[in-house]
């Protein structure tokens, strides 16, 4: 690209519609594309066998027992989806203020990881580091009075991460937004000899109302006291996201994530422009619920709106997208 002044294009020498005149031409000039390789499929886990349980606020998404999750993992493999993410539903009676189940090597996430990696070693498995699926108060960390304790929480996240990696997890995704957790987890992984474990940090994660259906899915909705604004980011801020990302990179993140997705495309764009490392967007549960709700009512064209929403992330700079539409999108992309 030179800096020489270019002649100002003008009509009718330029007719922008020429390149759009036919499908072959539109395909030829397309700047971005979507493929199953871009997708990460989040799954929700429940206890039991042969169980699938509907999640009312996420029409079409179900909680799966471990054996059903293994089946879903097989589906991911056959659809060329490279990674699945695992989230456990925990009933109130198994939660406590410290989120103790997070550090139980036989919890649902560890069980499912072992079962899936045994059956499908070539499929990537991503596990969150965060306590909210396990705490009785629904927060991502341990509490003292009204405060979420940072450093004490990080100590537990380290143990949770190591157990998940020992179960076979490939990517640890700290979603808790405690300060310093990426560095602490990275150091612990190195020390334990897990030198190839990737960290995808939820680096710019906002305190968002769009997580509502996810909290239904994991059983946190009734539990959560207050909000997460002392650790998740203020939706008013964009520059601050760049500081968060810079810190996580310095601490050892291999990939970063911006979350939620569509309402934060500006942040995604800036992060990719500024750092250029593998950058992911999470099309979160509330975004899924909005689209699935409108699709279910016949107000939006299902196939087109799924692919358009996902392609938007690619255009903004995402290398991949965590989305509950992953299997549907992969099927569409493969013409199935
Ligand atoms: C928990 C976590 C959340 C999501 C992923 N990991 C919710 C939260 O922070 O309250 C949200 C995902 C979604 O809404 O789809 N740390």
For residue range 47-59, list pLDDT tens digits in order.
999 999 999 999 9
The more confident residue out of 101 and 1 is 101
Catalytic residue among 94, 117, 205, 272: 205
Test site for ligand 1: of 63, 173, 175, 326, most ligand atoms within 8 A of the Cβ: 175
Span 252-266, average pLDDT: 98
User: Distance between the two ends of the chain, CA-based, in angstroms?
Assistant: 41
Is residue 141 situated within a structural domain?
yes
The answer to whether 258 and 267 have CB atoms below 8 angstroms apart is yes
State residue 4's pLDDT score.
Answer: 77
d(Cα 174, Cα 109) in Å, to the nearest integer? 14
Query: Distance of CA 110 to CAs 46, 63, 86, 115, 304, Å?
Result: 12, 16, 9, 9, 36
Is residue 26 situated within a structural domain?
no
Q: At what angle do helices 285-296 and 302-316 cross, to 10 degrees?
A: 150
pLDDT-based confidence at 2, cuts 50/70/90?
A: low
Is residue 49 situated within a structural domain?
yes
Span 100-126, average pLDDT: 98
* Cβ(214) – ligand 1 distance below 6 Å: yes
- Tell me the percentage of the chain whose pLDDT exceeds 90: 96
d(Cα 326, Cα 53) in Å, to the nearest integer? 19
Span 322-336, average pLDDT: 98
Active site includes 272?
no
pLDDT-based confidence at 5, cuts 50/70/90?
A: confident
**How far does residue 62's CA lie from ligand 1's centre (Å)?**
16
Query: Distance of CA 203 to CAs 240, 252, 267, 316, Å?
Result: 11, 12, 11, 17
Tokens of 237: 């801020």
* Residue whose CA lies nearest to ligand 1 atom number 6: 175
Range of 126's domain? 34-333
Mean residue pLDDT of the chain comes to 97
Tokens of 125: 């498995």
Is residue 29 situated within a structural domain?
no
State residue 154's pLDDT score.
Answer: 98
Catalytic residue among 228, 259, 272, 314: 259
Is residue 200 situated within a structural domain?
yes
Is residue 43 situated within a structural domain?
yes
* Cβ(211) – ligand 1 distance below 6 Å: yes
Whether the predicted pLDDT of 269 surpasses 60: yes
Whether the predicted pLDDT of 278 surpasses 70: yes
CA proximity to 323, closest of 268, 281, 264, 283: 283
Active site includes 334?
no
As for how many domains the chain has, the answer is 1
**How far does residue 26's CA lie from ligand 1's centre (Å)?**
37
State residue 1's pLDDT score.
Answer: 55
Lowest mean pLDDT among 217-226, 262-271, 292-301: 217-226
- The residue to which tokens 């649902």 are assigned: 108
What is the maximum span of the chain, computed from C-alpha positions, in angstroms? 71
Tokens of 306: 């799924």
State residue 3's pLDDT score.
Answer: 72
Span 185-204, average pLDDT: 98
The answer to whether 136 and 97 have CB atoms below 8 angstroms apart is yes
CATH number where 124 lies: 3.20.20.70
* Residue whose CA lies nearest to ligand 1 atom number 8: 211
Is residue 39 situated within a structural domain?
yes
Is residue 54 situated within a structural domain?
yes
């Amino acid at each position: 690209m030179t800096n020489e002044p270019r002649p100002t294009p003008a009509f009718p020498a330029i007719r922008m519609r020429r390149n759009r005149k036919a499908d072959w031409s539109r395909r030829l000039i397309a700047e971005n594309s979507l493929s199953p390789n871009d997708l990460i499929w989040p799954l929700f886990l429940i206890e039991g066998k042969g169980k699938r349980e509907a999640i009312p606020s996420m029409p079409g998404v179900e909680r799966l027992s471990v054996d059903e999750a293994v089946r879903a993992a097989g589906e991911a493999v056959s659809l060329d989806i490279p990674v699945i993410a695992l989230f456990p539903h925990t009933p109130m009676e198994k939660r406590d203020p410290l989120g103790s189940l997070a550090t139980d090597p036989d919890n649902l996430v560890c069980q499912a990881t072992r079962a899936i990696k045994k059956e499908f070693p070539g499929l990537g498995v991503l596990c969150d580091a965060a306590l909210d699926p396990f705490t009785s108060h629904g927060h991502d960390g341990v509490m003292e009075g009204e405060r979420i304790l940072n450093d004490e929480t990080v100590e537990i996240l380290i143990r949770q991460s190591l157990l998940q990696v020992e179960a076979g997890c490939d990517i640890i995704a700290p979603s808790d937004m405690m300060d310093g957790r990426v560095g602490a987890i990275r150091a612990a992984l190195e020390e334990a000899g897990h030198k190839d474990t990737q960290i995808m940090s939820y680096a710019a994660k906002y305190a968002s109302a769009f997580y509502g259906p996810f909290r239904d899915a994991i059983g946190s909705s009734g539990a959560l006291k207050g909000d997460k604004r002392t650790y998740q980011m203020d939706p008013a801020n964009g520059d601050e996201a760049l500081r968060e990302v810079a810190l996580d990179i310095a601490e050892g993140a291999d990939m970063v994530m911006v979350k939620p997705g569509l309402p934060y495309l500006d942040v995604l764009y800036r992060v990719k422009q500024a750092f250029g490392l593998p950058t992911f967007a999470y099309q979160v549960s509330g975004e899924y619920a909005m689209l699935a709700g409108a699709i279910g009512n016949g107000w939006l064209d299902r196939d087109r709106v799924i692919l358009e929403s996902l392609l938007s992330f690619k255009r903004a700079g995402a290398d991949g997208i965590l989305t509950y539409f992953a299997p549907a999108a992969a099927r569409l992309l493969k013409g199935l």
